[in-house]
Every structure is written in C-alpha cells, then in structure tokens.
Chain A
C-alpha cells in the first residue's frame, strides 16, 4: 500500500506551518499525558492508587494542576534582574520544541527529519537548555538559586560526555547523522546490537534531565527546588513544562536511535502509533528507575559519571568501531549476529567495572 502523499507537504510554507503547529500541540499534549502517566504509574509502585478523582482514572488531574498553577500569583523578587528573570523560562523551554524539528514522527514525516546533521543538531540544541538554567539561577538574586543552578550545570555538563559518546556509537553503526537515516539503517533495533550503549544513554539521559535517582538538585523533600526557587505561577509552569518536555524529547530520541523510531510490524499507517508506544515504553523505564532507586549523593553522582559511565562509554565506542571495521559490510553497519557478542560483552564489562570501581571511601572530595 502506498504511503499517503498530502499535497500540502510539498509546499514549503504549508509544511512549516502544519508541522510547527503540530509539534507545539504534540509537546503540550504529551506533557499533560506524561504527568498523568507518571502519577498513575507511581501509585502501584508505592502501594496506593494514584490520582483517581478528576474524571475516570484521574485523566483530568493534569488539567486541574495546570489551571491551579496558572491562577497563582506571579511573584518577581525585588532584587531580581527583571528582564533576565522573565526570559529565563522561555529560553529553558525553547530547546525542547527545537529538538522536535528533526524527529521523524511517521514514516519519515516531520518538520526536518532528513536534516543532514540531525543528531548533532539535537546535541547542540540541548546545550542551550543550560543557558536557561543559568539565567534563572542568576536573575533570581538569591544565593540558593544560584548554587542550585551551578549544581545543575555541573551535572548536565558531566553527563553530556557519556550521552554523546553513546550517540557516537549509534552514528558509527548507522553511518549517518540524519535522524531518518538512522531509523532507515536499523534493520535490527540498536538496543539489541549495542545494549551497553543503550544502558549508558538511558542513565546519562536521566541525569541530563534531572530526573529519577539524579534529582538531588531539586530534591523535593530535602532542599527547596534549586534554581527555580524564586519562580511562581506561569513562569514556574514553564519550567515544569520544560522538565517534562525534556523527558519527552529524550524518550523520543532514545526511541529513534535505539528502537527504530516509527518502524514496526503491521500496516504502514501504524508508524506514529509505534513511535508513541516506544516513547511511552522508554518513559516507563525512566519512571521505574525514578521510583526504585534511592537518590544519589553529589560526590557519588560525579564519581559515577566520570569513573563508571565515561570509561564504559569509551569501551562501547571502541567495541562498536572494531565491529564496524572487521565485520561490517561494504556500506558500514554490523551483521545482526553481533548481538551474541555484545550482550555477553556488556554484562562482563558492567560486572568487571563495578568490581574495580570505588567511591573515595566515604571521603567527599568533589565540591561541585
């Protein structure tokens, strides 16, 4: 069956308008669904029911939350740098929308899914998120928000290294930087071909979006929210939106890089459904990790990133490069049977490295 060919997709401005609006709607809607999904999923994990009052299954709970937070007073501290304080949430949310410009949603359709430097663009744009955090931490005129901001930056910069290294192993095997090209190259999903790369990507992504066991920077129960302590009302909602938007973006990128994006068995029209299913699966993994693992201490966080993830990510890049050189075909790529090599290799490496790897014996020497 031939794929649908809408005439509007051939017109540049119509394409831009259609996908621009679609991406904004997709991100806003999915953030609401994610908030609901996370809270519902938390319930059974914690032996309770989760939100179940607002409409069936509590589906309107995020709507109620949104209305509540929008009606709150917008407070700007007297010593704040007014303009920067105002712009910071916008800069913080912008990269989330920009990332989706290159994500192929359905059978290679998207705003710019064929962009030649696709995944490099994603990595570059993600770096912009740091600027929003900086601006928020600085402009609040509060030393706690400044310190919180600096901790977030230290964590994001540290975990960007293993994240990008695991992306490099994907690029090595796929032989292209384009998101559509990476999807097209995956005859076998890459989480099977390089389990180690996928695990490293997932852990680094959790740290990058300040979630799960890595949320010590805004630990709700211990310190007061970190860099966005001085934000309220709509502006706080923007940061909240950006946080879940980042989780959505990371899930979408992981689905594209490691799970074959929109590919899946069945009718050609099911592409978007497969993609959504994969996004929800990865987000469920993030929730699972968040609810299961205890929060990391700051020295453990840095030690884990630099002494554990970083060497393993390097090892993964070397293994994949060697496999591409020695077993790869004429057009690059690796044969499917490397699964039987890579799974034992990943298990052996993780086991061996966890034996060798020590935190400095309780001595705290990382002052990030």
Chain B
C-alpha cells in the first residue's frame, strides 16, 4: 500500500521532470531537471528492492553522465539562449512521436513474464553471482570493460595535440 503511494509519487516526479527537460527554455535548467528525473528513477528502483541498482543509478547517471552533460553545456558558447528550435523541428517531432508510439505499442502488446516470487532484499550478491560466476556473464562483462577502455583511449587520441 505505502509502496504504491511511493511509486505513484516517484512516477509523477519522473514524468513531470522528463517533460520539463523537453520544454525548459534554458538548456541548463533542462539538465538540472534531468538530474531530478534520474533521482526519481533511482527511487523507483528502491521501491523494487533493487538497492544496488539504485545506488549505481545515482552514481553513474547523476555522478557521471549528468556531470559530463553539464560540462558540455558550460563549454558551449552562449548557452543561456538555450537551444532554439531549428528547421528540423517538425521532422524531429514526427520521428520522436513515432518512436514513442513504437515503444509504447511494443510494451503493451508484449507478453511479459511474471513470477510469484517476491524480490530479494539483498541484491548485491545476486548481481555479483550473475556477473562473475562460472555460468555468469563474465565474458560479456569483460568485453564491455574492454570497449569502454577503447573508447577512453580513442577520446584521448582524438583530443591530443601532437
């Protein structure tokens, strides 16, 4: 019951701030609303007993992604004017709406599997087991790590002055 209340408050927060991200005139305000939105998503993870995921959501999306985003905004010229709509406004709206339709349609029509098990309170060990056990996704994890390393090296090569 109280979890339902928490969920609806968080869901309203997420949707509201997500809309604010789109409609905010000032691009810096949009980035701040995005941070609140990420925080709401982390809250929803908490209501689902996914405590580890919630902490990682805050760490990665607020601590890293948003910071990078705001850094980008700060380094652009004259950002206080925001991002005024260009010629591609109408096509962009069409594409975005079409994508939203596809996603909502597939979510509604897909036959989601449900289970009667309640979610575990302690999720850290389960996630560690899934990632690093012999039958887990060790290979996928290592490949993802290698790809990120390659991306970092690539970024350094790109910005490096000879």
A116 touches B51 (CB 8 A): yes
Chain A 96-127 interface 0/1 with B at a Cβ cutoff of 8 Å (1 = within): 00000000000000000001110011011101
Interface size class on chain B is 20 to 34
CA distance A134 to B35 in the complex (A): 12
Whether B150 is near chain A, meaning CB under 8 Å from some CB there, is no
**CB nearest to A123 among chain B residues:** B59
B10-18, B63-71, B81-89, B93-101 - the one binding chain A:
B63-71
- How many residues of chain A are within 8 Å of chain B by beta carbon? 26
Whether B122 is near chain A, meaning CB under 8 Å from some CB there, is yes
B58 touches A153 (CB 8 A): no
List residues of chain B with CB within 8 A of the CB of A149.
Answer: 74
**CB nearest to B42 among chain A residues:** A124
B67 touches A124 (CB 8 A): no
CA distance A150 to B122 in the complex (A): 38
CA distance A79 to B29 in the complex (A): 16
Whether A249 is near chain B, meaning CB under 8 Å from some CB there, is no
Chain A 130-165 interface 0/1 with B at a Cβ cutoff of 8 Å (1 = within): 110011011000000010011001000100100000
List residues of chain B with CB within 8 A of the CB of A120.
Answer: 52, 55-56, 59
CA distance A146 to B77 in the complex (A): 13
Identify whether the interface residues of B are mostly helix, strand, loop, or mixed.
helix
Interface residues of B in 6-51 (CB under 8 A from A): 26, 28-29, 32, 35, 51
Residue of A84, A116, A124, A130 touching B121 (CB-CB under 8 A):
A116
CA distance A137 to B67 in the complex (A): 13
Contact A157:B67 (CB < 8 A) given known A117-B124, A135-B32, A150-B74: yes
List residues of chain B with CB within 8 A of the CB of A115.
Answer: 51
Whether A177 is near chain B, meaning CB under 8 Å from some CB there, is yes
Whether A172 is near chain B, meaning CB under 8 Å from some CB there, is no
CA distance A81 to B121 in the complex (A): 42
**CB nearest to B125 among chain A residues:** A116
Max count, chain B CB within 10 A of own CB: residue among A117, A135, A177: A117
CA distance A135 to B33 in the complex (A): 12
Whether A350 is near chain B, meaning CB under 8 Å from some CB there, is no
CA distance A365 to B161 in the complex (A): 9
List residues of chain A with CB within 8 A of the CB of B55.
Answer: 117, 120-121, 123-124
List residues of chain A with CB within 8 A of the CB of B121.
Answer: 116
Max count, chain A CB within 10 A of own CB: residue among B55, B64, B121, B161: B55
CB distance from A244 to the nearest CB of B (A): 22
List residues of chain A with CB within 8 A of the CB of B124.
Answer: 116-117, 177
**Cβ contacts A to B, 22 pairs, < 8 Å:** A84-B28, A84-B29, A116-B122, A120-B56, A124-B62, A125-B58, A127-B62, A127-B67, A128-B58, A128-B62, A130-B63, A130-B67, A131-B32, A131-B35, A134-B67, A135-B32, A137-B74, A138-B70, A150-B71, A150-B74, A153-B67, A177-B124
Using a CB–CB cutoff of 8 Å, the interface residues on chain B facing chain A are 26, 28-29, 32, 35, 51-52, 55-56, 58-59, 62-64, 66-67, 70-71, 74, 121-122, 124, 161
